[in-house]
Amino acid sequence: MNKGDLIIIPTDTVYGLAAKLYDEEALKKIFEIKGREQSKQIPILCHDMTDLIDIVELDQVSLFLMKQFWPGPITFVFNTTEKFHQLTGEKTIAARIPNHPKALEIIKKYGVLRVTSLNKSGEPPLSDINEIKDQFGSMIDEIYEQTEDQSHVSSTVVDLTVKPLKILRQGTITEESIKNALNALQSYNDC
C-alpha cells in the first residue's frame, strides 16, 4: 500500500474499508467515501496483541478479555498511550483482532490498519461483492474478496475506558459471555 491507498478487506464479520494506521491522506478519503463526520474515529485491526503495545494502555482486565475473545468478533475501546495520543490526537481507540486468515495475512503484510465497515454512514454494511465493486471500486486501490464464512453482523463493541465496562454495540458475542468471563477472572483473583 502506498500513501493514500485504500483497500477493501474481508473479515470474520463484515467487509472493511482499510487504510494504513498513520496515513492521514487515506483516512480523509475514508471519511469522504462514507460521508462520515471526522469527529468519529476509525477503529484499528491488529494481527496480534503485541501490535497494541505502543498504541493502548493495557491492564489486567483488558488483557484477560483480549485473551478470552481474540481473535474474534469483539472490539474493545481502550485509552491510548501518551505517545499515540501525541501522534494522532486520539485519547481512546477501538481495536480488534479478526478471526479471519486472509484479514490477518493482510494486516501482517501492511501493519495495523484503520478499518471501518463498508457502507455509507447510517446505512447497513455491504456484503455483496458485485455491489461493493459497483459502489466503491473506482475509489479503491485493491479489493480482497471473501473466501471464508462471514457472519454479516458487526462486532460487539465494549468500552474498557469506563468502570464498569460498557457494551456500546451488541454483536454475536453476548453481554452474558462477557460477564461470565469477568466472573471467571474475579474468581481467579479471589483465590
- Give pLDDT, residue 37: 74
Provide the pLDDT confidence category of residue 39 given band limits of 50, 70 and 90.
Answer: low
Mean pLDDT confidence for 43-70? 96
Count helices and strands (H / E) in the chain.
6, 9
Whether residue 191 has pLDDT greater than 60: no
Domain boundaries, the chain: 7-190
Average pLDDT over residues 61-87: 96
117 pLDDT more than 60: yes
Q: What is the 3-state secondary structure (H, E, C) of the chain?
A: CCCCCCEEECCCCCCEEEEECCCHHHHHHHHHHHCCCCCCCCCEECCCHHHHCCCECCCHHHHHHHHHHCCCCEEEEEEECHHHHHHHCCCEEEEECCCCHHHHHHHHHHCCEEEEECCCCCCCCCCCHHHHHHHHHHHCCEECCCCCCCCCCCCEEEECCCCCCEEEECCCCCHHHHHHHHHHHHHHHHC
Q: Which of 93-107, 108-122, 136-150 has the highest mean pLDDT?
A: 93-107
What is the pTM assigned to this prediction? 0.90
Is residue 45 within 8 A of residue 155, CB to CB? The reply is: no
**Is the confidence at residue 181, as pLDDT, over 80?**
yes
Question: Domain 7-190, what architecture?
Answer: Alpha-Beta Complex (3.90)
